[in-house]
Amino acid sequence: MMESVTSQLSLHGKLTYLAHLFKALTRKHHLEYLPILKSSLSDNSIIIDVGAHSGQFTKLFSTIVPAGRVYAFEPGSYASSILKKVIGIYRLRNVTYVNKGLGEQCKKERLNIPVKRSGSLGFGLSHLGSDKQDVRTMLSETIEIITLDSFAESEKLEKINFIKADIEGWEMQLLLGAKSIIQKWHPVLTLEVNRQFLSRAENTPEELWNFLSDNGYEIFRLFCDENRILQTKLAPEPFDGNIICYPY
């Protein structure tokens, strides 16, 4: 069994871990998303936060759905150790942490975490799959992958309203493992699209676009203007960037 990343940290890496934890606890992130999120969610919505990282979106989601639930999926030991502290210290009682990744099949995978020149971890860029263009030093650990369909069944979920995924190229794999949910409940989706990252799983933006279109979604581009107000624009053609997808 491959050891966890946290046990492989250098002295500098251990010190920067404290800085990452401090930022996660004291800073508010993604507030520019509030108008879009509030228009898509109700107090009792069920949210799937895939690639919850250190809890930036998780904290925001928790405040928007006080009578709902947020399932925060984060398989990486470094990020999850911070995420769990954030959930506990902020007493996010409507958040359930899940120490697994999501994909097309239930299996074990290797999670790769880039090491910066300083020795700290670029844990926000952790990814599955190989990337020949990425020549950075990596630390790796073995994680468990499940499907969202199987998770919803095991948890006896009666609905899922919203799925956010920023998982460095594994987005298509997530969708393939959530076919039943998508066809049954048609949750709103926010996804990161990056051609190079998607190639790690041998997927493409075109494949992702076709999947969404075939399952009854309209795709909008997300971006911020100079005042950091989130804007949307219909995106009929594949591109690299952040998208939000609404069922027809």
Strand partners, 140: 112
Q: Look at residue 233 in the predicted model and tell me its pLDDT.
A: 83
Domain boundaries, the chain: 5-247
Place of tokens 């899922």: 160
Domain range 5-247, CATH architecture:
3-Layer(aba) Sandwich (3.40)
Q: How far is CA 242 from CA 4, 37, 60, in A?
A: 30, 14, 18
212-228 pLDDT per residue, tens: 999 999 999 988 765 56
Average pLDDT of the residues of the chain: 90
47-95 pLDDT per residue, tens: 999 999 999 999 999 999 999 999 999 999 889 999 999 999 999 999 9
145-187 pLDDT per residue, tens: 999 999 999 999 999 999 999 999 999 999 999 999 999 999 9
pLDDT band at 11 (very low <50, low <70, confident <90, very high): low
| 118/16 Cα distance (integer angstroms) | 10
Averaged pLDDT for residues 96-114: 95
pLDDT band at 121 (very low <50, low <70, confident <90, very high): confident
- pTM tops 0.85: yes
- Residue 176, SS3 per DSSP: helix
Q: How far is CA 44 from CA 61, 62, 193, 244, 245, in A?
A: 11, 10, 28, 20, 20
Structural element, H or E, at residue 38: helix 34-40
| 78/152 Cα distance (integer angstroms) | 26
How many other CB atoms are found less than 10 A from the CB of residue 172? 24
